[in-house]
């Protein structure tokens, strides 16, 4: 099936979705205090980027963007593994996931 490039109007819809996801993630990251929720917010930012990449890929009619998305998902998975390991380590230490409990270093 031959693929047609999407026009700029359709592209802008996808980009808007991606940007909204990215911004929601950013706002959540700044405003929430639970470490797991904060991590999920960064994941949401990554997914916003992924939506934009796929849309651009279709707009330019090349596969590079979609290839990029696969790598982005891989990195996101690696970060998730690391984040969950870190969260378990932290929870064993302080029995809380509140980010404010981790603010001893100051100066």
Partner 1 sequence: MHKAEIIQKVAGLWPEIVMLIGATACLFIGLSKGKGPRRSTPWIAAATLVLAALLVCGKSSVSDGAGALAGLAGYVKLAVAGIGLILLMVAAGVPDQLRQTRDAEAAKDFDPGDLLTGEFYAFFLLSLTGVMLTAGAGDLVWLFLALELTSLPTYVMVATSRDRVQAQESAVKYFFLGALSAAIFLYGFTLIYGATGSTEFAEITRIAQEQIAAHDGHVPGLLLIGIALSIVGICFKIAAVPMHFYAADVYEGAATPVTAFLAFVPKTAGAVALILILSLVGWPLPGAIESLLWIIAALTMTVGNVLGLLQTSVKRVLAYSSIAHSGYIVVGLLAGPAVNQAAGGALGDGLAAVLFYLVAYGLGTIASFAVLGCLRVNGDEAQTFDDISGLHKRHPFLAALMLVSVLSLVGLPPLVGFLGKVYLIGSAYGAGFTYLVIILVLNSAISAAYYLRIASACYFGEPNDAVESTGQFPRYAGALVAAALALILGVVGNGLVNASRNATTPVQAADTNQPVQQTAATSID
Site residues (vs partner 1, CB under 8 A): 15, 22, 25-26, 29, 35, 38-39, 42, 45-46, 48-49, 52-53, 56, 59-60, 62, 64-65, 67-68, 71-72, 75, 78-79, 82-83, 85-86, 88-90, 92-94, 99, 102-107
Residue 30 Cβ, how far from partner 1 at the closest point, in Å?
9
Sequential DSSP letters for 30-95: HH--BHHHHHHHHHHHHHHHHHHHHHHHHHHT-SHHHHHHHHHHHHHHHHHHHHHHHHHHHHHHHS
Looking at residue 98, the DSSP 8-state letter turns out to be B
Nearest CB to partner 1, comparing residues 1 and 100 = 100
Residue 74 Cβ, how far from partner 1 at the closest point, in Å?
8
Residue 86 Cβ, how far from partner 1 at the closest point, in Å?
6
Nearest CB to partner 1, comparing residues 2 and 104 = 104
Write b or e for each residue in 66-77: b if 16 or more Cβ atoms lie within 10 A of its Cβ, otherwise e. Answer: eebbeeeeeebe
């Amino acid at each position: 099936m031959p693929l047609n490039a999407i026009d700029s109007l359709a592209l802008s819809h996808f980009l808007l979705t991606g940007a909204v996801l990215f911004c929601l993630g950013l706002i959540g990251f700044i405003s929430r205090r639970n470490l797991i929720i904060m991590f999920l917010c960064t994941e949401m930012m990554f997914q916003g980027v992924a939506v934009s990449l796929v849309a651009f890929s279709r707009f330019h009619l090349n596969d590079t963007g979609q290839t990029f998305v696969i790598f982005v998902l891989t990195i996101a998975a690696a970060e998730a593994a690391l984040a969950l390991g870190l969260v378990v380590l932290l929870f064993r230490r302080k029995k809380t996931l509140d980010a404010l409990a981790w603010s001893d270093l100051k100066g």
